Structures are given as structure tokens and as C-alpha cells.
Amino acid sequence: MKTTFLFSSISCALFILSSVNAQCYRSSNKSSKGALPLCKRLDEDGHITHAYLQQRLINVYDKEQEKKKEWQKWFDKQKTIVTKDLEDKKEQWLRECENSWEDYMVKLENKWMHPDLGFENEYKCKLFPHCGKWPGKKWLLWFKKQGLTCLKKDYQKWLKTRLQEYNKMMKKTLLQYNTKYQEEWCSTSGKKKRR
């Protein structure tokens, strides 16, 4: 990637310098201090010197390296802030999960203690009114065949809901940070360009 950037920078610099060179041939004005403008740094044949181009490219490369270091320093600082905030939000979510788990268990217990209240509609199995007459072995057999499947579906539904809430919360937080820091970085780099 560095070589690609370097070649594109060289091409851009040559293009700019060649267009400036053409303008210098049209006007023979000297700058206010009496020095030749940059585009008139030519050799005996009328070409821009290799040393001048090389120095310009080195300057561009150095500025880009400085910007890269500045960005990395800024990014590392912001990264610690964002990481801490995300960890705090994760801890908050885990506490909410524990509370939600307790509520879920109470509701599940009520549902299984009173199977006549919507049990058939939710699980699509006919349990009530026959279940009251079943002996213990028949209950165990039914539970192994269908009851565990019903419990797994309930648990997966609860877990999926909690994970969706977590992902939504984290995505929202990251988007807020993205917007905030993008604006901050652009305004910071813009101020430094004006200096």
C-alpha cells in the first residue's frame, strides 16, 4: 500500500509541477522577494531538476507519515474511551439479563404449573385436560418426547430476544461514536491544515 501511495503521489506531483511549469513560461513575473518561483527551478535544458522533485516528494511523504502518527495517537486515545464505554454497557446488559432471566423463570414456571392457560396455542400440543389423569411414568415419557422441545423453544426465544437487544444497543453506541469521532477528526485535521 505504501508503494501505491508513493507512486500515486509522484504522479500527482509531476502533473502539478508540469502544469505550473507551463504557466511559468507564459509569465515572466518574479515574486516580491526577487527569488524565482518554484516552477522555474530548472536545469540548463529547461527541465525541472531531479533533486528538486525528489525533495518535494520526500516532503510530501514526511507530512503523510506525520499525519499517520498523529492519527494513530488520536485513535489509540479514542479507542480506550470507546472500549471502556462498551465494557460498561456490556456489564449493564448482563445485569439486565440476570433480572430478565429471573422474570423468565417465574413466567415459565407459571406456564408449566397451569398448562390450561394458552399452553395448547403456544406449543401446538394437546396436553390439557388429559394430563390430569396421567401417572408419573406417562408424564416423564411425554416430557422427554415433547416437553423438552417446548422448553428449548422457550429458551431459544428468550435468548434470541436478549441477543438482539444487545446487538442493537452496541450498534447504536458504535454509530454514535463513529459520527462523533468522524466529525472531531475532520475538524481537528482541518484546523491543522490552516496553520
Q: Do both 103 and 136 map to the same domain?
A: yes
User: Each residue of 37-62: pLDDT tens digit?
Assistant: 555 566 667 677 777 788 889 999 99
- pLDDT in the model for residue 64: 93
Domain count, the chain: 2
Residue 162 has pLDDT above 90, yes or no: yes
- CB contact at 8 A, 115 and 127: yes
Q: Is residue 125 part of a domain?
A: yes
Residue 16 has pLDDT above 60, yes or no: yes
Q: Do both 37 and 112 map to the same domain?
A: no
Spell 99-137 as b/e; 16+ CB within 10 A means b: eeeeebeeeeeebeeebeeebeeebeeebeeeeeeeeee
pLDDT band at 161 (very low <50, low <70, confident <90, very high): very high
- Decide which of 121 and 7 is more confident: 121
Q: Do both 138 and 177 map to the same domain?
A: yes
- Decide which of 87 and 16 is more confident: 87
